[in-house]
Structure 1
Amino acid sequence: MATHHRSYNYQASMPFAREPLKTIYVGQRLLTTILMVPFWVLYYAILPRSYRPRPSWSLKQIVAVNFMRRIYKVTERAGVTWGTRDPDALCDNATLKETRFEWVDPLPEELRTGIVVDQQVPFKRVGSFVWPKQKPAEIPDCSPPGDSNTSDIVLLDRSDIEADAGRVPIIGIFLHGGGYCHMSAHETSGPSRIPRRLMQDKAFTEIHAVEYRLLQHAPFPAAVQDAAAVYAHIVRRHQRKPSSTKSASSNGSNSVSNDLDKNTEMSEKQDFLTVDFDPAAAKNRKDNKDIRDRVAQAARLKGCKIFLIGDSAGGNLVLALARWIRDEGILPAPDGLLLLSPSCDPAHAFPESPSSYVPRPHASTDYLVDTPEPRALLQRTFLGHNPLETMHSPYVSPASMRVLRAFFGDAFAESVEDLTIRQLDAAEIDRLRTMASAPSTPIAETPSWSRSPTPALDGAPLERSPTSLARPIIASPRGLSLFTDFPRACIVLGDAERLEREVMKLVGAMERDGVDVRTVWVEDGVHDVLQMAWWDERVRDRVWASIEEWVREVGEN
């Protein structure tokens, strides 16, 4: 674990990321921030509680938020990264106290389809830190042959697992936050507070924390490749042994096993971000019902429940992985998505024009900063060689206004643009869900500007952006809507955090497409409150209780 000071491409246009200005800027910022602490304590101790950023906050919370906000501004303007590790480096299990380190092979060839395919981003083996450290008897070793930690891999029947463990294993895949440039999956990293608590409360049998490649090491879609490799590995490791029925054998029919072996026929190896992709033709080549049947069949053979867990940027990666699984139809869907303050609109840093930039809310109550210039440079590096329009892909910014307008029309997009968690009552959820009966895919056989305007959900003409539809970046295969067939989701967010607006757009879009969403409201909560060790423990305990109740409900169904 280290703080890195080397320069990256995205820092070339950042004056404070170059020496000697970097050392001067970082040094003075740290010094003045430390000197501000006693002032903040004295000032807010004297000030009436009603004048605090949030009346419920303690002095400790106020000081911590102010301190972190100044530090976060340093990291963005000076390009400082911290808490990272080399994803290609082996971790000695003897140094780990709570987890075990395992390698997962690269995503298999037959699963390399869709947006994970990029000739300039190679598939690589992935490290993961697996909770708990002690390997359960029914869980096989996932280390590749020849590794120093290997043992024979034995696939067990679901019946064997259930008989031994008393229940279907609940497996979590944890994707840490950090803006795709900070933090690690290592057990000592800050985000590890999340899997640690879930394991302490026995909500999961195992949690695999993925050491995915940050943008310093590889651009999009490297992180999706890495997360997909771990997901596919867990699915295969927990797959039940299918058996052919007597009638199927006598008729010469293919067994379930043969169906699974031929799952590459479900989807072409087509990158949906390329400009020559014809969504109308792809829709005709794929039979949606056939794909759903095959995925459902694979799900019945899955001997565990799998939850995708992600905080902040990790939540963004969870959404991208779930979309890839849904779009390609070659793996069974996860059973649940646990999204903790997910980043779901990075395109916010790329307004149509500088004058149209709308600052994120809650500037005085969150530690996140909203400095679009360095954030835009960083995200441009994240895209790699992909065009800038890729930032508006549902795989990157599923809650951007451009995506919502393309799928649902102006009326819906504007209705959720300023939605807050305080407004999300039963009546609002019902209103969002009543919109789900209308078709809502932006896929069209001809470019939008060559057709007459299509009707919006409210019957009014809908002018669609040529940029959105001329390129298939904002599109879904097989005529699916934005969140059609997504698994159940639990979304945690605070009403004092800067991502509230975009997360609520995400919630609204999911509800509109019929996803079963459990929203956990952290009143006066900042961004990613569950990994903030200095936050009110009673508040965090209530949030954990709500999450674990949801996990049990999904796990038992």
Structure 2
Amino acid sequence: MTQPIKYIYIFGVCLSIALLSPIWALIDYPLSNRPNKDWPLSRCIRIRAFRMIEPVIPLCAFDRDLGRIPTEPPYAHLLKRSKFTYIPPLAEEYISGWLRNLIESVETLRIENETKVGVINERWLQDYTPKLETCRPIQIPCYVYFDERVSPAKASTLDLNLDLEEDDKVMLQFHGGGYIVGSAHENDVTATLCKDFIKFGSVKKIFSVDYRLAWYAPFPAALIDAISSWSYLVNQLEIKPHQIVFSGDSAGANLALALTRYLIENELPGPSGLVLHSPWSDMTFSRRVMSTSFTTNKYKDILESTFSPYAVKMLTRYVGVEMINSVYLSPMSQRNGKDVETFKQFPSTFIIAGECEMLLDECVDLHESMIRSGVGCRLHIVGRGVHDPAMFSSWQEPERSEMFYTLASWIDGLFGVPKPDYGDSNQV
């Protein structure tokens, strides 16, 4: 068995959670002791468990155990709610000058650092640093989600585009996970967003992309994969851009913003709308000093303070501070967020945030910044919700379903198909 100390530590954390759960139940039993008095006891215990597990990811370099390797396809016959396909590498014509220069710079640094790969991590014993792959365009996995109630029972018979009509809408989704964990695979926890939202009928299919994570390939690999997925839908599947809605949760929302910006800057046809679930929009952390929600929701949210800095370090280790401060990775830094030009020409946007998440203020500020830039933007705050409430199918109800109804109504409205709005008063 490799990495013995690491796995002993992980076992210890899991055992601690099991032993502490009854104690947490006693502590949180009085309503006055709960982080949020409206939460049931079970939710309080889950939040505490999440907050204990999350630091294990950066401490144990556990990210590569929680992601998927893009070159390994899943067992297609096991997929029940989606169809697996590959997105071909991005054509050279869609790579702009600055992005091409960035790729070359990162590749040079990556190759120079290969001599350091394989050094034993003394902290955990026999924990070898994985060799980073190229950030150049490659073939990437994609999962196409469908509503099994109206689509063929066998995912293998699902046609990717031939059953789309002129007025049908599709969603291009980027999963969350801080660019270091998660997958578009239907067994991943973030896939509940796709599996549940497709049932609301506002989009015919959801194309969820397994973009390359930071432990596998450095930035700008994720952005290149996002552009590849847009090109695949528009060029290979011949889906008209106005039929597409971009979507992302957490870090995936950051990627959806970056893709939209790239298309605008290069005068390429963009989507009809943009959906951002708990968007992470400031990798400089410059707004946290003046953020009330980052302090007041610190013990209410599933996010833990060590996770994001580790994710930024992994993602940007070859691109430098200038890229971290750019509008591509940090459109809501203190500098970028004040610029009225930051979101010029962006499509209509629907922002979702949890009432109890640390990024609440960042989401509210993003909404206000988009409004200043002339974007038709709507903010929906999920009552009692934590970060990325769409991800949790059982213990964020009924607020989660209300959010999905409101989002479905908003998407239908984009395409001139008005439906009842099931939202509540927590909307702007």
TM-score, L = length of structure 1: 0.63
> How far apart are the structure 1 equivalents of 2:407 and 2:391?
14
Residue type at the aligned position of 1:389: E
Cα pair distance change 1:124/1:313, threshold 3 Å: same
> How far apart are the structure 2 equivalents of 1:536 and 1:555?
29
> How far apart are the structure 1 equivalents of 2:259 and 2:352?
19
Q: CA deviation at 1:115?
A: 5.0
> How far apart are the structure 2 equivalents of 1:76 and 1:357?
24
> How far apart are the structure 2 equivalents of 1:97 and 1:176?
19
> How far apart are the structure 1 equivalents of 2:326 and 2:364?
18
Given that 2:241 and 2:270 are in contact with CA atoms closer than 8 Å, whether structure 1 keeps it comes out as no
Pair 1:175-2:174 in alignment: yes
> How far apart are the structure 2 equivalents of 1:377 and 1:308?
27
Pair 1:129-2:143 in alignment: yes
> How far apart are the structure 1 equivalents of 2:195 and 2:35?
30
Corresponding position of 2:27 = 43
3-state secondary structure, aligned to 2:179: coil
Residue type at the aligned position of 2:48: N
3-state secondary structure, aligned to 2:197: helix
Cα pair distance change 1:501/1:324, threshold 3 Å: same
2:61 corresponds, among 71, 79, 96, to 79
Q: CA deviation at 1:381?
A: 2.7
Q: CA deviation at 1:334?
A: 0.7
Q: CA deviation at 1:508?
A: 1.5
Q: CA deviation at 1:22?
A: 3.0
Cα pair distance change 1:173/1:135, threshold 3 Å: farther
2:265 corresponds, among 320, 327, 330, to 327
Cα displacement string for residues 50-97 of structure 1 (whole angstroms, at most 9, x for unaligned residues): 442111100111111111111112223332224321111223422212
Cα pair distance change 1:315/1:322, threshold 3 Å: same
- Of the structure 1 ranges 180-189 and 378-387, higher mean CA displacement relative to structure 2 is found in 378-387
Cα pair distance change 1:114/1:314, threshold 3 Å: farther
Corresponding position of 2:79 = 96
1:526 corresponds, among 364, 386, 394, to 386
Q: CA deviation at 1:201?
A: 2.1
Q: CA deviation at 1:357?
A: 11
Q: CA deviation at 1:221?
A: 0.8
Report 1:269-418 matches (<5 A).
302=240, 305-329=243-267, 331-348=268-285, 360-361=294-295, 362-371=297-306, 375-405=308-338, 407=339
Report 1:148-187 matches (<5 A).
162=165, 167-187=166-186
Instruction: Give the share of equivalent positions with the same residue, in percent.
Output: 29
Length, aligned pairs only: 376
Residue type at the aligned position of 2:209: V
Corresponding position of 1:30 = 14
Given that 2:351 and 2:379 are in contact with CA atoms closer than 8 Å, whether structure 1 keeps it comes out as yes
Given that 1:168 and 1:303 are in contact with CA atoms closer than 8 Å, whether structure 2 keeps it comes out as no
Q: CA deviation at 1:28?
A: 2.5
> How far apart are the structure 2 equivalents of 1:303 and 1:135?
25
> How far apart are the structure 1 equivalents of 2:6 and 2:18?
18
Cα displacement string for residues 161-185 of structure 1 (whole angstroms, at most 9, x for unaligned residues): 54xxxx5221111100011111111
3-state secondary structure, aligned to 2:172: strand
Given that 2:367 and 2:378 are in contact with CA atoms closer than 8 Å, whether structure 1 keeps it comes out as no
Cα pair distance change 1:304/1:333, threshold 3 Å: closer
Report 1:463-542 matches (<5 A).
481-542=341-402
Residue type at the aligned position of 1:122: R
Residue type at the aligned position of 1:527: H
Cα displacement string for residues 285-335 of structure 1 (whole angstroms, at most 9, x for unaligned residues): xxxxxxxxxxxxxxxxx3751011111111111111111111111x21111
Report 1:405-484 matches (<5 A).
405=338, 407=339, 440=340, 481-484=341-344
Report 1:193-342 matches (<5 A).
193-237=192-236, 239=238, 302=240, 305-329=243-267, 331-342=268-279
User: Larger C-alpha radius of gyration, 1 or 2?
Assistant: 1
Over aligned residues, Cα RMSD in angstroms? 2.6
TM-score, L = length of structure 2: 0.81
Segments of 5+ residues of structure 2 without an aligned counterpart are: 108-134, 147-154, 418-428
